[in-house]
Amino acid sequence: MSIVTTQATDYLQRTEVQQLLERLYGTEELAEQTARYEQLISQFGQHFSEPEVQLFSASGRVEIGGNHTDHNRGKVLAGSIHLDTIAAASPVEASEIVFFSEGYEGEFRVQLDNLSAGENENATVLLVKGIVAGLREQGYSAGGFHAYISTNVLSASGLSSSASFEMLIGSILNTFYNEGKLDAVTISKIGRFAENRYWNKPSGLLDQMSCAYGGLVAIDFADPQQPEIEAVSYDFYAKGYSLLIVSTGGNHADLTEDYASVPNEMFAVAKQLGSEVCRDITLEQIYANLPALREQAGDRAVLRAMHFLQENDRVDQQVAALRADDMNSFLGLLTASGNSSWKWLQNCYRDSDHHDQSVAVALAITEVFLQSIGDGACRLHGGGFAGVILAAVPNQHAAAYEQLVADTLGTSVFRVRIREHGAFCLSDLL
């Protein structure tokens, strides 16, 4: 269903559209989000001449369990959130993609007959090229479109702003040129292809799958070509807890080498034990070969492999706890996940920069606060080394915790809600 840009206000005030926006963003944000989409459509009209558009949304994501497990064919517990990247877009006959992104100067332009990756090319353009190339490599279609894009998934926030953007572009091309037949797994793989091949980022599928699928999901990557996805229905806020993402204010210099070291060291341990990935090894094998592993792969690699094995089991335990509505067990597992990332995975700060340990400081402050109220849990969130942490705080204490962060770290706190839809064209849900 296309929207005539001059009739945007009337369209967005329709009962079914208001109900959809309320489901996506909550009652308290309904007016704000309606105005946000009105502004989106208005900006499209100021930049392009197409009289009609379609609306798209791709969520950010929250990682709850399974820190750095997906790349070794492990398990994760994650969810799409109400913070998202949205677009007003229209297909065009020209063989090019042109879009404007709120907060960025100038236009982004991708010529579809030239998908080579330029050495100093803009990262956003490279990702779009990668998605188009990935679609075509898999036998799908891609064509031109015009779009105006806006996001509240902050960059370097640990909420997967890049994956949210990738899933948005994938959804637009899926709707305009593939009759919507690509599922979340396929679009996610194409997003990973774009990151791996065009952005040189050694990511797994966690970020893309979490942004694309929708809801709280347990994902098993034992078969990375066809991950098993299991929906987990749980409303944390209704059960008395707020999920808070805390910006730690750390140095967001290039972390590619730090991120790559995690899977590479896990691979090294698995290789020494005759396997490709840590999913195929056991703790007993590590113990039986410990001296040789420490000598050949190094102690940190051994600890990271042990983290993988324990973290993989924790995901199953977290899912079981939520299904049993056992928050005490769940919070204990969330704490254990955080401790494992800090002590075994060792991705709370960079080895090359001991002066900046912003993630560790934020965790320490949070742990003291949670101890003082005798409830809640926290853990590192996402890739680590810099960025954000996740805290599960009783609703009645959330405001006090946010004030503590403001007074001590001077950084932002985002209350996130799991939403049932990931990446999609809004008209498909009406």
Contact 55, 87 (CB under 8 A): yes
Contact 150, 88 (CB under 8 A): no
Give the CA-trace dihedral at 62, 251, 191, 218, to 10 degrees: -20
Please state, in angstroms and rounded to a whole number, the distance separating the CA atoms of residues 214 and 80: 5
Give the mean pLDDT of the chain: 93
Pairing of strands 96-101, 75-91: unpaired
- CB atoms < 10 A from the CB of 372, how many? 11
Please state the φ and ψ torsions of residue 284, each to the nearest 5 degrees. -65, -35
Q: What SS3 state is found at 377?
A: strand
> pLDDT tens for residues 80-121?
999 999 999 999 999 999 999 999 999 999 999 999 987 788
Name the nearest CA neighbour of 307 among 330, 285, 278: 278
> In which residue are the tokens 């985002």 written?
414
Please state, in angstroms and rounded to a whole number, the distance separating the CA atoms of residues 429 and 175: 13
Give the contacts of 417 (CB within 8 A, at least 6 positions apart).
26, 81, 82, 237, 243
User: What is the reported pLDDT for 353?
Assistant: 77
Contact 223, 70 (CB under 8 A): no
Give the CA-trace dihedral at 388, 394, 396, 400, to 10 degrees: -30
> pLDDT tens for residues 178-192?
999 999 999 999 999
User: What is the reported pLDDT for 157?
Assistant: 65
Please state, in angstroms and rounded to a whole number, the distance separating the CA atoms of residues 77 and 110: 35
Residue type, 196: N
User: What is the reported pLDDT for 156?
Assistant: 66
User: What is the reported pLDDT for 1?
Assistant: 66
Please state, in angstroms and rounded to a whole number, the distance separating the CA atoms of residues 7 and 52: 10
> pLDDT tens for residues 223-277?
988 899 999 999 999 999 999 999 898 655 577 788 889 999 999 999 999 999 9
Please state, in angstroms and rounded to a whole number, the distance separating the CA atoms of residues 296 and 301: 10
Give the contacts of 188 (CB within 8 A, at least 6 positions apart).
167, 205, 208, 209, 211, 212, 213
User: What is the reported pLDDT for 129?
Assistant: 97
Radius of gyration of the chain (CA): 22
> Tens-digit pLDDT profile for the chain (430 aa)?
678 888 989 999 999 999 999 999 999 999 999 999 999 999 999 999 999 999 999 999 999 999 999 999 999 999 999 999 999 999 999 999 999 999 999 999 999 999 998 778 899 999 999 999 999 999 999 999 999 999 998 776 678 889 999 999 999 999 999 999 999 999 999 999 999 899 887 677 788 999 999 999 999 999 988 899 999 999 999 999 999 999 898 655 577 788 889 999 999 999 999 999 999 999 999 999 999 999 999 999 999 999 999 999 999 999 999 999 999 999 999 999 999 999 999 998 888 777 889 999 999 999 999 999 999 999 999 888 888 899 999 999 999 999 999 999 999 899 999 999 999 999 999 8
- CB atoms < 10 A from the CB of 361, how many? 17
Domains of the chain, CATH where assigned? 3-234+419-429 (3.30.230.10), 241-416 (3.30.70.890)
Q: What SS3 state is found at 367?
A: helix
Name the nearest CA neighbour of 173 among 127, 121, 120, 104: 127
Question: In the numeric block, which tokens belong to residue 198?
Answer: 């065009």
DSSP secondary structure, 215-263, as one string: SEEEEE-SSTTS-EEEE----TTTTTEEEEEEE--------HHHHHHHH
Please state, in angstroms and rounded to a whole number, the distance separating the CA atoms of residues 140 and 177: 8
